[in-house]
A and B are shown apart, each in its own frame.
Chain A
Amino acid sequence: EPEVTQTPSHQVTQMGQEVILRCVPISNHLYFYWYRQILGQKVEFLVSFYNNEISEKSEIFDDQFSVERPDGSNFTLKIRSTKLEDSAMYFCASSPGPSAETQYFGPGTRLLVL
């Protein structure tokens, strides 16, 4: 069964450094998402992406964040200058269509900012 994959599984970085989290969505899916879960808190929506542009974003997704689909398979989340409070589990998801369609989640990348 096809699945969403994410790399790396764990990333440790220094405050102020840039990080890029990578995701490979399911191949025939058209909608892509990033969510994050700070330890002990709920999973929060960051951004959705369709047709090579952001379709929705939350207030968490400020100018420090960007997303890109650099080729036909990868979907990346970049944090330009990490802060301590960016430490979280980041989940990528994809779906074949919008709204009612099921979002399929990857295993997550655990980011620790020191």
Chain B
Amino acid sequence: AQSVTQLDSQVPVFEEAPVELRCNYSSSVSVYLFWYVQYPNQGLQLLLKYLSGSTLVKGINGFEAEFNKSQTSFHLRKPSVHISDTAEYFCAVRGTGANNLFFGTGTRLTVIP
């Protein structure tokens, strides 16, 4: 089975500052990695995913994440955040032969004007 740890439950950051949301995973098999965002009263929207190839993955809204196999991490970054980035961010992992996603507990990003 797989599991995901998001150590930061809340991250406040000032507008236009950089941000990093941390995600670590554990798995005994090869995995696919995902970041989802949830805006208030909306569903989970895919930000980006890592399947294979380049370890630096670029997603929507200027976000990117880097897969680090040796550290079993998939941290999400953005160089300059905007007010509209305020949301809950979920890291998720899936075994390459499985269909179900395992989610972390989420990180609430609050961008302060």
Contact = CB atoms under 8 A, between A and B. Distances in A.
Give the interface residue-count category, chain B.
Answer: 20 to 34
Contacts, number: 60
Given A105-B36, A105-B43, A105-B45, A42 B100 contact: no
A42 B105 contact: yes
A48 B99 CA distance: 7
Interface in B1-30: 4
B105 to A, nearest CB: 5
Interface string A54-95: 011010000000000000000000000000000000010100
Give the interface residue-count category, chain A.
Answer: 20 to 34
Interface of B: 4, 32, 34, 36, 41-46, 49, 51, 90, 92, 94, 96-106
